[in-house]
């Protein structure tokens, strides 16, 4: 029983996750605004 | 005009720079050609050339306002054609990149008093965002509403469920380098005026973000601002496209 559980845990650790697991998304954005420059977001 | 050629050079360098597990998107928001206050802008000197330069950048998503479209005219270059419907109604779509499902919701032009969105428009944007949240890993709004309306919109959701992971703002009002809003749920960004920077939002561990949908997740979001100064090489193709704009100076 314990050996079976250990086997499952090992398999879960080494099998690949979903295609997007741990992915990062970088968005590069440009646009236009007007008004005073606000250098320090609060 | 030099800034646009440098922007193209920077975008191309990031587009071709592979990083394992990272999806990169390039998005242009409202008033890329026109000014939010209706004033004079460099694109007026040669709007066709500026439109072709934007088309060459192959944005993943774009929102052109009616003022932008008036400068583009009837003969939009091929690369901009899919963005030339004025955003009079909320419009959502899903892009899939490397298995990541990314929803974009283009906010409609505000039609309420004082240039603000109506309650009906706000409800429609929220409904579209929630609809796409059920189908996407990340939901991103692009807004031409201006700083006051965007702040009010995000303020509605403090402490309650809301659909947008990211709000890319634009239009009237100042820019900022990025901040967390809506009770820490939404990364809100408004670029500085006149397009001399590229703003970057990086979201880490997307599936984890989904499972912790209502938690504050500032640690998962990083903001950055890239100045388009002379350290960035200009894209030669876009630089050549902009020659008519320089010639009319």
A2 CB within 8 Å of a chain B CB: no
Compare all CA atoms of chain A with the CA of B25 and give the residue at the minimum distance. A27
Q: Note whether B175 contacts A30, CB cutoff 8 Å.
A: no
Q: Note whether B199 contacts A28, CB cutoff 8 Å.
A: yes
Between B39 and A25, residue with greater pLDDT: A25
Q: Note whether A31 contacts B7, CB cutoff 8 Å.
A: no
Compare all CA atoms of chain A with the CA of B146 and give the residue at the minimum distance. A33
Measure the CA–CA gap between A21 and A1, rounded to whole angstroms: 30
Q: Is the pLDDT of residue A13 over 80?
A: no
Q: pLDDT by residue for chain B (249 residues), tens digit each? A: 558 999 999 999 999 998 999 999 999 999 998 888 888 877 788 888 999 999 999 999 999 999 999 988 887 888 888 888 888 999 999 999 999 999 999 999 999 998 899 999 999 999 999 999 989 999 999 999 999 999 999 998 776 778 899 999 999 999 998 999 988 889 999 998 776 799 999 999 887 555 455 444 444 899 999 999 989 999 999 999 998 877 766
Cα–chain center distance at B33:
13
A36 CB within 8 Å of a chain B CB: yes
Cα dihedral sign, A31-B117-B108-B45: negative
Distance from CA of B149 to the nearest CA of A (A): 13
Domain B2-231 has CATH 3.60.21.10: yes
According to DSSP, residue B60 is labeled S
Report the 3 state secondary structure along B123-140.
HHHHHHHHHHHCCCCEEE
pLDDT tens profile B164-186: 999 999 999 999 989 999 888 89
Name chain A contacts of B223, Cβ cutoff 8 Å.
Answer: 41
Where in chain B are the domains?
A: 2-231
Name chain A contacts of B7, Cβ cutoff 8 Å.
Answer: 30
Q: Note whether B207 contacts A21, CB cutoff 8 Å.
A: yes
Q: Does residue B121 contact residue B148 with C-beta atoms inside 8 Å?
A: no
Of B187, B57, B67, B23, nearest in space to A24 by CA: B23
Cα–chain center distance at B230:
24
Name chain A contacts of B100, Cβ cutoff 8 Å.
Answer: 20, 23, 25
- Extract the tokens encoding B27: 């998005």
Of B26, B34, B44, nearest in space to B64 by CA: B34
Measure the CA–CA gap between B240 and B15, rounded to whole angstroms: 21
Measure the CA–CA gap between B142 and B36, rounded to whole angstroms: 15
Calculate the average pLDDT of chain A.
66
Neighbours of B241 (CB within 10 A): 25
Bridge partners of B226, per DSSP, are B198
User: Mean pLDDT throughout A20-31?
Assistant: 86
CB pairs under 8 A between A and B: 159
Of A18, A28, A33, the CB nearest to B24: A28
Of A20, A32, A35, the CB nearest to B137: A20
Of B139, B190, B178, B188, nearest in space to B29 by CA: B190
Neighbours of B115 (CB within 10 A): 16
Helices (H), B20-146: 47-56, 66-72, 119-133
Q: Does residue B36 contact residue B63 with C-beta atoms inside 8 Å?
A: no
A12 CB within 8 Å of a chain B CB: no
Query: Locate tokens 């950055």: which residue?
Result: B224
Neighbours of B150 (CB within 10 A): 25
Q: Does residue B108 contact residue B87 with C-beta atoms inside 8 Å?
A: yes
Measure the CA–CA gap between A22 and B235, rounded to whole angstroms: 33
Name chain B contacts of A30, Cβ cutoff 8 Å.
Answer: 7, 27-29, 32, 191, 195, 197-199
A18 CB within 8 Å of a chain B CB: yes
- Extract the tokens encoding B110: 């505000």
Query: What is the reported pLDDT for B93?
Result: 95
């Amino acid at each position: 029983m314990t050996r079976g559980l250990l086997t499952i845990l090992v398999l879960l650790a080494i099998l690949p996750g979903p295609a997007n697991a741990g992915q990062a998304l970088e968005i590069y954005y440009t646009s236009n605004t007007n008004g005073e420059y606000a250098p320090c977001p609060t | 005009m030099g800034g646009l050629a440098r922007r193209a050079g920077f975008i191309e360098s990031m587009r071709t720079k592979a990083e394992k597990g990272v999806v990169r998107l390039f998005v242009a928001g409202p008033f890329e050609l026109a000014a939010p206050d209706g004033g004079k802008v460099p694109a007026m000197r040669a709007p066709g050339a500026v439109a072709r330069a934007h088309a060459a950048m192959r944005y993943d998503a774009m929102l052109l306002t009616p003022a932008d479209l008036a400068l583009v005219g009837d003969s939009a270059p091929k690369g901009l054609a899919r963005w030339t419907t004025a955003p009079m109604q909320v419009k959502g779509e899903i892009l899939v990149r490397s298995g990541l499902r990314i929803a974009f919701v283009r906010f409609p032009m505000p039609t309420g008093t004082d240039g603000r969105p109506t309650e009906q428009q706000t409800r429609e944007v929220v409904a579209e965002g929630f609809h796409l949240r059920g189908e996407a890993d990340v939901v991103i709004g692009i807004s031409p509403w201006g700083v006051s309306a965007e702040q009010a919109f995000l303020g509605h959701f403090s402490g309650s469920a809301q659909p947008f992971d990211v709000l890319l703002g634009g239009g009237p009002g100042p820019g900022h380098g990025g901040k967390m809003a809506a009770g820490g749920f939404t990364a809100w960004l408004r670029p500085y005026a006149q397009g001399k920077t590229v703003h970057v939002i990086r979201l880490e561990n997307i599936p984890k973000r989904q499972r912790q949908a209502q938690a504050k997740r500032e640690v998962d979001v990083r903001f950055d601002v890239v100045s388009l100064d002379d350290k960035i090489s200009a894209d030669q193709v876009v630089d050549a496209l902009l020659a008519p704009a320089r010639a009319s100076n």
